[in-house]
Amino acid sequence: MIPLKSDFCYAILDDRGMAGDGVRAAGFYRHDTRHLSRYVWTFGDLELIEQTATATTLTQYWSRMRHHAQEVMLERKLELLPTGVVEHIHVESWSDEALTLDLQLELDADFVDIFEVRGQRRKAPRNAVARTDDFDTQLFTYVAQDDVRSETRVRLDGLGVAPLLLAPRESLTRHITIDFATTLPAALAAPSATPRWMPSITAERTPVLEQAIRDIESLLLEPAEGRTIAAGIPNFVVPFGRDSLLTSWLLLDADPSLARSALTYLAARQGRREDPFHDEEPGKIMHEHRESELSRIGEMPFRTYYGSADSTPLFVVLLGDYAARTGDGALAKQLEPHWRSAIRWIERYADPRGLINFRQRDDGHGLTVQSWKDSADSMSYGDGRLAAGGLAVAEVQGYVFAALNAAIDLSRLCGGLEAERQGWSDRAAKLAETVDRLFWMPAQQTYALALDADGRQLDVVASDAGHLLWSGIVPDDKAPTVIARLFADDMWSGYGLRTLSTKEKRYNPLSYHNGSVWPHDTALFAAGLNRYGDHAGFARVRDGLTALAGHSADLRLPELVGGYPRDGSTPPLPYTESCRPQAWAAAALIYVTTAK
């Protein structure tokens, strides 16, 4: 797969640079609507001999040899823009005779929602796509159920419709321009050029670090509310709460301005009312925002969806750490109504023990699991059974602990009352005691994955304890024990932290959350090691993630890989449906490489 992206425009191409039948979800998209479902060149009997790709550009060289010498060469350069595509076709003849090249281009547009591409069946009828063919221009038009109009206009410059005639030794260039137009109000904010990223990084720019920097740049988004970042390509080219907050935290030293703009974006979409369909609650920070048709017309809850138990405390954590690192108290004051509303959400929706829970949805809408391990089979007991009902997941409580401590500092910056700071301090201390008492598993020497609605532990050894170290909720005297447990062979693969121990019944190295290695998960463990002064452990994590990136053909950390041991015979196999690139995976590499 070759992914390209520019703002909210992205392309999923096969290994020959075509949007055809070879890759699931192949096509060109804008705001999660597929503006071209087929884009396949046939260059006669020319052979692809070389290609390179950047975040926005694919360059290919096709050639035909005769009598041990090149007869004709074709250079194809496709560049993705925020609102379309420009493709340059340059042909050179090295023959002393006239040549005819049969260049054919297959085009189609279906304007389906990305969720339909991934298998979601729509309920509302689908309007027909209108197609108009002129000799040099093809226009595809679609009107959605909410009257949003989408167009794809392809100007062919004489290519793909008739054979190309070349005089002896002639060179020529043609330009195809493709415009993806939409009446979506969100599209009005599209930048004129692909967003650029200029981080402040003094570490040696190794090839894997350079790739991670390019990945972050490729995932930037420029909505009207200000810069934020997409979670990953191809499934998540939209703003996400949890992902953008953790990515921004991992990049605080490299570029604090990303944290500032991501916080501002999320504050603008903070929950204001009780809305069960969208899991919205007053003060809650969103999980994701999408502009595609099924979300717009209410078949799916993802227009602005709040099904995340952890985005709200993470919002406060990032704002507190941003202010502490940069000294920018002005942002804390600007966002004071928002961080206070987030704290009120914690206070209002915590259970009598002070824990934040989520209910597992069974209505077919939204997310069943609303912590970061959000697959339906991620929450299990030691006997392998899946938990049902409400859950209090371990790391969410750690985030709340960190948010309460951040709120104390934010209150001081904003001139708040000493009484409220003392109240949050007392609440954080009580929460730390509760988590240690209810989640600790003496036999396993670590914390349980979660508590179910009856207070029973999900008694598996999982990576979530690494997040507890990052939050600071683990008592100092227990931190070395937890660290040692996470570095044990059943948890530490040599490349990173497994999401679930190899000893657990549901362990599968190539599952989504039951034994795979997620780079961001491992990086937060590394941040926890730094917090508790285990610098040798941090270096061990840095070596593992760097080696994992170096092992990849594209030198990037994907969303996740298989949890196979580094010293075994099986390589870190890719999870075939993972995002590549993925924001917090790239940020993980930058963090462990550059952390001070």
Q: What is the pLDDT of residues 277-302, one digit of tens each?
A: 999 999 999 999 999 999 999 999 99
Using the structure block, give the residue that is written with the tokens 């260039």. 173
User: Residues spanned by CATH 2.70.98.50 within the chain?
Assistant: 2-189
Q: Which residues pair with 152 in a beta bridge?
A: 140, 180
Provide the CA 328 distance to its chain's centre, in angstroms: 27
Q: What is the pLDDT of residues 403-437, one digit of tens each?
A: 999 999 999 999 999 999 999 999 999 999 999 99
Share of the chain above pLDDT 90, in %: 89
Closest CA to 219 of 211, 229, 234, 210: 229
Q: Which residues contact 147 (CB under 8 A, 6 or more apart)?
A: none
Q: 207-594 sits in which CATH class?
A: mainly alpha
Q: Which residues contact 577 (CB under 8 A, 6 or more apart)?
A: 235
- Do residues 481 and 529 lie in contact, with contact meaning Cβ atoms separated by under 8 Å? no
- CATH architecture designation of domain 2-189: Distorted Sandwich (2.70)
pLDDT value at residue 343? 98
pTM: 0.94
Q: Cα–Cα distances in Å, from 161 out to 62, 107, 138, 281?
A: 19, 11, 11, 55
Q: How many CB atoms lie within 10 A of CB 219?
A: 30
- Do residues 203 and 253 lie in contact, with contact meaning Cβ atoms separated by under 8 Å? no
pLDDT category, 361, cuts 50, 70, 90? low
pLDDT category, 363, cuts 50, 70, 90? low
Using the structure block, give the residue that is written with the tokens 């969100």. 186
Q: What is the pLDDT of residues 245-284, one digit of tens each?
A: 999 999 999 999 999 999 999 999 999 999 999 999 999 9
pLDDT value at residue 234? 85
Token code pair at residue 257:
């301005």
307 pLDDT higher than 90: yes
Mean pLDDT of 223-230: 92
Find the Cα–Cα–Cα–Cα dihedral 90, 94, 98, 100, rounded to 10°: -40
- At 289, which helix (H) or strand (E)? strand 288-289
Token code pair at residue 10:
């992205």
C-alpha to C-alpha distance for 397 and 435, rounded to whole angstroms: 7
pLDDT value at residue 158? 84
Mean pLDDT of 59-64: 97
User: Residues spanned by CATH 1.50.10.10 within the chain?
Assistant: 207-594
pLDDT value at residue 596? 75
pLDDT value at residue 364? 63
pLDDT value at residue 359? 81
